[in-house]
Amino acid sequence: DSGVTQTPKHLITATGQRVTLRCSPRSGDLSVYWYQQSLDQGLQFLIQYYNGEERAKGNILERFSAQQFPDLHSELNLSSLELGDSALYFCASSASGLSSYEQYFGPGTRLTVT
């Protein structure tokens, strides 16, 4: 168990809908990362937050947004969903120290868009 929690585990929704994925980082970790894993794209970095502020953006669609709250949990919002958004969405966290480069991943949320 990495200490990173994600809810829900599974999500099935229809095209055009909006969903929110939730992540709680390991205790004390200030950085939260979101990744998307799909068969055709592999593991892709979406976005990073550090202590409530956006730190880096990757291949994140404009229909997707995220935020990190004062209690450090994060939410990833996906809107106007398309079939191609079906994927595993992972959240990861890391500590803020200079030697803490590794990230610890949650179990993921499997999103199925029908």
Partner 1 sequence: AQSVAQPEDQVNVAEGNPLTVKCTYSVSGNPYLFWYVQYPNRGLQFLLKYITGDNLVKGSYGFEAEFNKSQTSFHLKKPSALVSDSALYFCAVREMGGATNKLIFGTGTLLAVQP
Query: DSSP labels for 74-86?
Result: EEEEE-S--GGG-
Written as six digits, the tokens of 83 are 């079939």
Instruction: Tell me which of 27, 62, 70, 99 binds partner 1, using CB under 8 A.
Output: 99
Q: What residues are paired with 24 via a beta bridge?
A: 5
Closest CB 16 distance from partner 1, rounded Å: 28
Instruction: Tell me which of 19, 72, 85, 90 binds partner 1, using CB under 8 A.
Output: 90
Q: Would you say 38 and 52 are in contact if contact means Cβ atoms under 8 Å apart? A: no
Written as six digits, the tokens of 72 are 């450090």
Closest CB 103 distance from partner 1, rounded Å: 6
Task: Give residues in contact with partner 1 (CB under 8 A).
Answer: 2, 4, 31, 33, 42-43, 45, 48, 50, 55-56, 58, 90, 92, 94, 99, 101-108
